[in-house]
Chains A and B, each alone.
Chain A
């Protein structure tokens, strides 16, 4: 069966380019071979395409007027509408036109619109700075409020809202899996969560599969950077509240934030940029973390934490507060 062809047009708004850089780390097959195998090709991508200057503008204009068909509009980076709604904080080079107005014109031509990364989904750091000086927003959200550039009612030609591949940066697998799903069989609204994120990566929590789970169970907590214990109680970890499969789908071979020794700062969630407390500190009320695990009543958490702390094995307790294992798991003497 010959693979269908799905054409992807990519634009970069006010972002750091990190989602593209992350995407290039796709493994095991090199990105372009993987996508080509699934029938997916780029019409244009600002960081990777051959066309520059007039050729690029002509191509984009043809996409906008419908004479050059394409299927997926991927946008990376926040929509900068300022100053004073003029869009002059980001004009598409050579065109004199605000980048966000190109995005609006192109979005109505696309079968699917993908917001690649948290900036594009929710508006990024700019939108979370007091007064929002850049007038930044996401494609269909301004932080957690529906609306954004395209409006809450926007539906792409395939009938879907903007698909939010939130994450800062996006994991290459989230992009490739989503594009391949679209190419193969499309995507239904039921396959997105309430915030437009594909369930294929957002139906788990970062806490699921975290290598520190044993420490979590016993509330054996890290006290300082580089400690091996659970990072929830003291160092700001939001893995129990963050929708993403980071602990199940490795980053760069074997990595994840938690494996790297630092807290999950909830980069797939709207508003993560301005948590209202220091990123690497757990806010507490009367000694109890205020951001409790989703689905867990507070009273239970408090009772269980007290119980499990009293039952913590020496090994777990001591290893939690050092940067390498000091106590190995015991070896049971041969039971006949």
Chain B
């Protein structure tokens, strides 16, 4: 006889999350999982009827963690609508603001949301437990006092470049409203140097370039052995717990591409354990609401999407929709981005065991090592005195789509304008992909799939928590 348990409120995620798990006859492992977001926010209705540029003030308020990514998606869609391309300085400034948010997010997630679970008493006998608990215990671990100032100082970049974080209006379809003087550029480089020092001394215990050069999983373990640094500490704990073999989803990875550096694409299983990498065809994206508290056709492409509430719908269990690519669930995030870019270490980790808790965490932290040096280059490429923002004139009607990468993965805004006002606005957030419910074919979403087979129940270690957090959920985005 199987039984069902409900986990919630789920803490240390952004927003509201509840899991419903069916356990096997012994009540010890998960046979089926349902992911419920018990919160609905309705931004798609809020946007309808507004003037198009108002989206820039509204969409950042979808999410306090990826508010800049939301701005960037709206700015990109509006730029497309107006047929304008920001000048080089404006593009560089936008990229810098977006990268700052993405990287700070990786740091917040690792230190404040993900790692505290390893302080759990279930791990008390493990050789690494005392060190990890002392460093990462929620609210009182020694790492908190180091990461918060590093994060706050790093965010000075957005103070300079975007006025403040979260919720800036600096990112515009024409570029960025904050032009930079050459003196400011020098000061921003100093902020990046300080952040690099934190990463190298505290997070990695090595130079960013050395971390990026690690070729495969064996080299990673050898590198971590005995090394001071928070990533090495995680890797020793993760190896002991076998987390490189835990948390596989569908092995289908989707990215919209970022910074002209990480390509857009879809990577999926091919014949004989191989995989294929294809160009992303946005037309193949749809959203399914079969098991959501929403009404309308079961599936629609986002450009025609609707978000109409039906709180009493039978068989529905979440406010989240189920985005699908060619009718298939897909995983998005830092791991997807870098697999599509052919990152060798992550390619090796995934070739051995598939996506896992370890691979997702390493992917996020590698992105810090990859992007900080890029940010140094972008800053140097800015030419003070040249334009940062072009004036923009929007047509009275039209359709457009903005596709960016937030820290957690692919974020798309689809909008249409009629008679100078927003007629439709649909958003697909990264966590909507990863935490989607079942669709009309009863295919579970990526997390629902990844939880099956995991230990659960009263005496189980927090494995379910590690897997959930390895996706870095953001439920407020999911339900807009």
Contact = CB atoms under 8 A, between A and B. Distances in A.
A280 B138 contact: no
Contact of A224 (B165, B168, B391, B465): B391
Label chain A's interface by main secondary structure: loop
Contacts of B149: 27-30
Nearest to A11: B9
Nearest to A41: B139
Contact of A20 (B53, B54, B64): B64
Contacts of A291: none
Q: Give the interface size class of chain B.
A: 35 or more
A29 B148 CA distance: 9
Contacts of B137: 50
A288 to B, nearest CB: 22
B427 interface: no
B292 interface: no
B170 A53 contact: no
A24 B108 contact: yes
Interface string B106-122: 00100011001001000
A47 interface: yes
Interface in A80-114: 80, 83, 86, 88-95
B63 interface: yes
Interface string A51-68: 111001100000000000
A40 B7 CA distance: 29
A253 B6 contact: no
Interface in A248-264: 250-263
A26 B145 CA distance: 12
B7 A53 contact: yes
B8 interface: yes
Interface stretch (A127-135, A179-187, A193-201, A298-306): A127-135
Interface string A204-245: 000000000000000000001110000000000000000000
A18 B477 CA distance: 12
A267 B148 CA distance: 26
B61 A31 contact: no
Contacts of B179: 226, 261, 323-324
B429 to A, nearest CB: 12
Interface string B57-90: 1100111110100000000000000000000000
Given A14-B39, A17-B14, A88-B311, A169 B64 contact: yes
B155 A225 contact: no
A306 to B, nearest CB: 27
A316 interface: no
A252 B8 CA distance: 34
B9 A280 contact: no
A48 interface: yes
B68 to A, nearest CB: 11
Contacts of B14: 17, 47
Interface in B140-187: 140, 144-145, 148-149, 151-153, 155-156, 158-170, 172, 174-179, 181
A79 interface: no
A38 to B, nearest CB: 15
A257 B169 CA distance: 8
Contact of B169 (A18, A53, A260, A273): A260
Contacts of A256: 163-164
Contacts of A91: 16, 38-39
B200 interface: no
Given A22-B166, A33-B145, A57-B9, A261 B152 contact: no
A154 interface: no
Nearest to A76: B64
B123 interface: no
A89 B169 contact: no
Contacts of A53: 7-11
A279 B9 contact: no
B54 A30 contact: no
Given A256-B163, A260-B163, A16 B12 contact: no
Contacts of B160: 253-255
B156 A253 contact: yes
Please list the 7 inter-chain residue pairs (A to B) with the smallest Cβ-Cβ separation, ordered nearest first.
A260-B163, A18-B64, A93-B8, A94-B8, A252-B159, A255-B159, A261-B177
Interface of A: 12, 14-22, 24-33, 42, 46-53, 56-57, 80, 83, 86, 88-95, 124-126, 129-130, 133-134, 168-169, 224-226, 250-263, 265, 267, 273, 278-280, 323-324
5 contacts: A16-B476, A32-B148, A52-B12, A226-B176, A260-B169
Given A92-B9, A265-B169, 5 more contacts: A48-B139, A92-B16, A129-B42, A253-B153, A254-B160
